[in-house]
Structure 1
Amino acid sequence: MRTGLDERAFDAVPEWVARRLRPQLDRAADEVLTELRRGGPPIGAEEAGRARAGVIAGIRHFCDLVEDPTAGWERVSAFYLRVGRHLARDGRDPVETQQALRRSALAACRTLGAESGGLGLDRGVLRLVVDAQFAYMDAVSAVIAAGYAAEVANRADGRADLAARRCRTRLLHLLLADPPADADRLAALALEARWPLPGTVAAAAVRRRAGTAAGAPGEGAALSAASGGLLADFGAPEPCLLVPDPDPSATGRADLPDALLRDWVVAIGPTVPVARAADSLRWARETLSLAVRGVISDAGLIRSAEHVPALVISRAEELIDDAAATRLAPLSAVPPARRERLAETLLALLEHNFNAADASRRLRVHPQTVRYRLRHLQDLFGEDLRDPRRCLEMELILHARLVHGGVRRHPTRQDAH
């Protein structure tokens, strides 16, 4: 920090004065303590120790400025800026410190002017030292006041930021309420949170990646992003955030911080009107669940709109499992390794309208291999492979079962024994 130090006053003081003054630190400190005790209330040992240390530091700083006013002031001003901040944190009045510094300066002047001081200063040099001393005190007082004011403002801003974050967290959960909250209440809380209600939103569900500790950089980045427009609650049992007015056609990261996407798995729901924010969050959470289970990739920003088939299937997993027991029953008699190959081939054939050449390219096997497997499937399933409705059911079931962990052999009556 740079402030109004009169460097010319220090340039005028001979540099040898600093060399002669440094050995007098202890004597000057004793003089100040005597001055502070004179005519005032008793000073305790702790207070006396702080006063003495302050005087010694002040004289050292003064000597630094005599030797190099520009470089010395950088260090001195930083020191007293911290002093001002500490005064604010401790609830102490900076005026008292400034008065103590001035009394210290007077005591130092008496020490310098004493005949027994041993500094050998004539009147002309002593006058220059006194001028520099009071220039120093004026500048230091200004720095202390600036540090004090900065800390007071910072603490006030911190309290305001904390209040704003709490208000935005309440707003977030009100927006995600199901059924939707009262519009007037939402508008009032949004005004208090200084968060203009958007036309559309997209909710995101997040989960910390394995091996990432609480308080990781991603969380700080997320909180910083939240103050810039997102609503977020990372302290909730199911952390979430809300993106205002996202571009529904965007393929980017919805302005989410890189650190957030690195340290958290983030799934974002569809863009919806504000009144349907809870719907967006529901799809985001289902998408996140698929990513956590390994059904879909958890890299980057996961958009639910890009995983509609997996989401639809996940909604009907129990029904699909029950239906698979019947529709895929013919595969139960086949050994596991062959069962998987036949299931993959059947799905490829169903998806390519039983075109063996297209299915072979999908499976990366010879077309003759696909035809051989098709004959085996026809022996197993018979007329079902000629029924469009049965084929559609099997395609859906196979897609779900292969995506969600393979085609398992369903228990039969013989298995039960």
Structure 2
Amino acid sequence: MSGLDDPRRSVPQELAPLLRLEVTPVSVSIFEAIEKSIPEYSQFRDNVVDGIRQALVKFVDMIAEPDSEPDPHDDIHRKLGAWEFKSGRSLDSLQAAYRIGARVAWRHVCGFAEQRKLSLRQMSVLGEAMIAHVDELVSLSVEGYAAAQASAAGTLERKRRKLMELLVGDPSGNWQSVVHAADAAAWPMPDRLCAVALEPSAAPADDLPPDVLVNFEDATPYLLVPNPVAVSRWIRRALPGWRAAVGLPVVPAEAPWSLACARRVLALAREKVLPDRPVLDCADHLVELTVLADEFLARQLAERALAPLASLTERQRTKLAETLLVWLSARGGAPEVAARLQVHAQTVRYRVNQLDELFGDRMHDAEERFTLELALRAHYLLDRA
């Protein structure tokens, strides 16, 4: 409210000394009325009475010196708003207290006006000034409440970010420090959690459950989801427009591995090794994750185990490799392999004979068969990239 528009400037200054005499009795009356309507304020009597007294003193001071600069009294009403938030209450009780205070103060003003024989005009001006004053006090308390709320949110966010760093950090660190950080962040430690790796995006992310730990500021953003159930489904709803990979559910101490798997799945999707879908689940791609856990070793295995195919033409290599993989995984005869490849059984027999010549006894040794199948799967996965 600008100074020129402030109704308190219109109250005759000569009333200030007379009104100042009323501050103490009016403060007591207001507190007694508030105490009856809002009993929980009784335990904070000194704070409340001080706030009432400061409000009345400020009101009289502004009448006495309408051109004076704002004084520190403003601070107590911001503190009252902050105090309400820190006490876990809404502003409803405090705003009700202001309304009660205004009513009681007005009754005293009416008695004061009658005693001092004020004119209707003076009464009207005084009433408008009181309303403006109460509105200002309410605004100050709202500011204090909002500031405390924002500060608490920022503090909690920082504590949760620190907790996330500890959870996905060095797994050999002090676990007790993680437990303390979870307590400080008001985050109940779950039995299981999963990490969700995200591709950076400008899409909205406003619908996440409050117990999900979030880090969108990281170059490689991620979430930590406690007690995960059907995470892939709600991620699609909560993060439309994002690409995500849901890590494996693990005990909290294994969070680094859940996140590593999720980030690996995202990388494989970027390389076209895995399907191009908005949400991928690590649990659906354990074979790929295992086979390609070390791409260098996977490539070495494929090259060494499949070396007998290297001398063939590309067309021959493709057909024989395809037949060998189906033959190894089918564990059946030529008819079953032929059905899977959609070729004639005689064609399969011919190809298997070729493979026997190339690989010899390895085709019939259990350990070698496993190595060949693993090498073929690695070959095909690496080929997609």
TM-score category, normalised to shorter length: 0.5 to 0.7
**Match for residue 50 of structure 2?**
none
Deviations 1:281-314 (A, max 9, x none): 2323333322232222352543322221111101
**Match for residue 83 of structure 1?**
none
**Match for residue 274 of structure 1?**
252
8 Å contact from structure 1 (residues 345, 370) kept in 2: yes
Is structure 2 residue 301 aligned with structure 1 residue 323? Answer: yes
Is structure 2 residue 227 aligned with structure 1 residue 245? Answer: yes
Partner letter of residue 217 of structure 1? P
**Match for residue 265 of structure 1?**
243
Is structure 2 residue 139 aligned with structure 1 residue 160? Answer: no
Is structure 2 residue 323 aligned with structure 1 residue 345? Answer: yes
8 Å contact from structure 1 (residues 221, 257) kept in 2: no
8 Å contact from structure 2 (residues 232, 281) kept in 1: no
- 1:15-414 alignment runs, 5 A limit: 146-208=138-200, 212-213=201-202, 216-218=203-205, 220-221=206-207, 225=209, 228-246=210-228, 250-253=229-232, 255-256=234-235, 258-260=237-239, 262-405=240-383
8 Å contact from structure 2 (residues 242, 278) kept in 1: no
Give 1:169 deviation, angstroms: 0.3
8 Å contact from structure 2 (residues 231, 246) kept in 1: no
Q: Percent identity?
A: 30
- Structure 1 residues 150 and 180: CA distance shift in structure 2, 3 A: farther
How many pairs are equivalent?
A: 282
Distance in 1 of aligned mates of 2:287 and 2:198: 21
Q: Secondary structure at the match of 2:245?
A: strand
Partner letter of residue 285 of structure 1? R
Distance in 2 of aligned mates of 1:315 and 1:400: 10
Distance in 2 of aligned mates of 1:183 and 1:163: 22
Give 1:180 deviation, angstroms: 4.1
Q: Which runs of 5+ in 1 are unaligned?
A: 1-30, 41-94, 104-127, 408-417
Partner letter of residue 257 of structure 2? D
Between stretches 297-306 and 154-163, larger displacement belongs to 297-306
8 Å contact from structure 1 (residues 172, 231) kept in 2: yes
Partner letter of residue 321 of structure 2? A
- Structure 1 residues 405 and 129: CA distance shift in structure 2, 3 A: farther
Partner letter of residue 286 of structure 1? R
Q: Secondary structure at the match of 1:404?
A: helix
Give 1:334 deviation, angstroms: 2.2
8 Å contact from structure 2 (residues 198, 244) kept in 1: yes
Partner letter of residue 295 of structure 2? E
Distance in 1 of aligned mates of 2:345 and 2:137: 85
Distance in 1 of aligned mates of 2:220 and 2:334: 47
Q: Which runs of 5+ in 2 are unaligned?
A: 14-57, 67-119
8 Å contact from structure 1 (residues 243, 254) kept in 2: no
Give 1:165 deviation, angstroms: 0.3
- Structure 1 residues 255 and 148: CA distance shift in structure 2, 3 A: farther
8 Å contact from structure 1 (residues 206, 238) kept in 2: yes
Distance in 2 of aligned mates of 1:32 and 1:150: 22
